[in-house]
Amino acid sequence: MMISSKQLTHFSIRATNGDIGGVRDVLFDDDTYVVRYLVADTNIWLPLSRKVVISPISVKQFDTENSIVDIDMTVETLKESPTIEEHKPVSREYEEHLFKYFGYGYYWIGPGAWGEFAHPNELVDQHQQYTNNDGKSTHENHLRACSEVSGYEVATQDGNVGHISQFIIDVSNWTIVMLVVDTNNWLPGGKHLALLPSDIIDIDWAAHHVSVKLTHDELVNRPDVDENKLSQDGYVNTVCAAIDE
């Protein structure tokens, strides 16, 4: 199933024994373009607006008709999970603490997006230890928030064209298969152009722009993405195929 990051932030979260708020943001890895966490807005039941993250490892299913994400944990378990401070990056030390708490295997061990596995749910009950001789993680952290990158200008090889408006996510393996470039402020009429992760050279967090391998003309000739069709079987694959032609 394909879903946009913007759509996800309108989903509520349902634990095994009750509702626990909604999805506030999506954290992704800017190296592999895999979604690592959903940030839960827990204001309705946690004091002082504590923020917690939910790994796709615990996601059971999506109720798209009612915009609900079902997770495989109780409200109490999530309440006691390690919290994050909003507007601060999630460190690898925090991730190790979080994964130890839930008993998950580390996704950063192994060659794939989810370590030795193809899908995040396979990391349940696969807890492992992976540190160097100093007892510290040997992997860098590449986590970024979709809300942060949304709005970044897109720098082609010969000029800026539009800005990132959303991310298209395949929730079968939580990979970001496509980004959408909104050109309303640059081109008459405006379009929502398809951009692939492989098109991206660099994300400049200081300058707030995304550098791509494409020229201006190559980007503006990309297919126009219709958000209303994302749920249709094969639609995103069709858009990607059109890019390769």
Class of domain 2-143: mainly beta
pLDDT tens per residue, the chain (245 residues)? 899 999 999 999 999 998 888 898 998 988 899 999 898 877 655 555 567 888 998 999 999 899 999 999 998 888 778 777 644 556 666 677 777 767 777 776 666 777 767 777 777 755 554 444 344 444 556 778 899 899 999 999 999 999 999 999 999 999 999 999 999 887 777 899 999 999 999 998 778 899 999 999 999 999 999 988 988 889 999 998 899 76
- Cα–Cα distances in Å, from 79 out to 150, 168, 187? 29, 29, 47
150-244: same fold as 2-143? yes
The CATH number corresponding to 150-244 among 3.40.50.300, 3.30.70.260, 2.30.30.240, 3.40.190.10 equals: 2.30.30.240
Buried b (16+ CB within 10 A) or exposed e, 158-185: eeebbbbbbbbbbbebbbbbbbbbbbee
Other CB atoms within 10 Å distance of the CB of residue 1: 12
Q: Where are the domains of the chain?
A: 2-143, 150-244
Do 27 and 39 touch, CB atoms closer than 8 A?
A: yes
Distance CA 61, CA 238 (A): 25
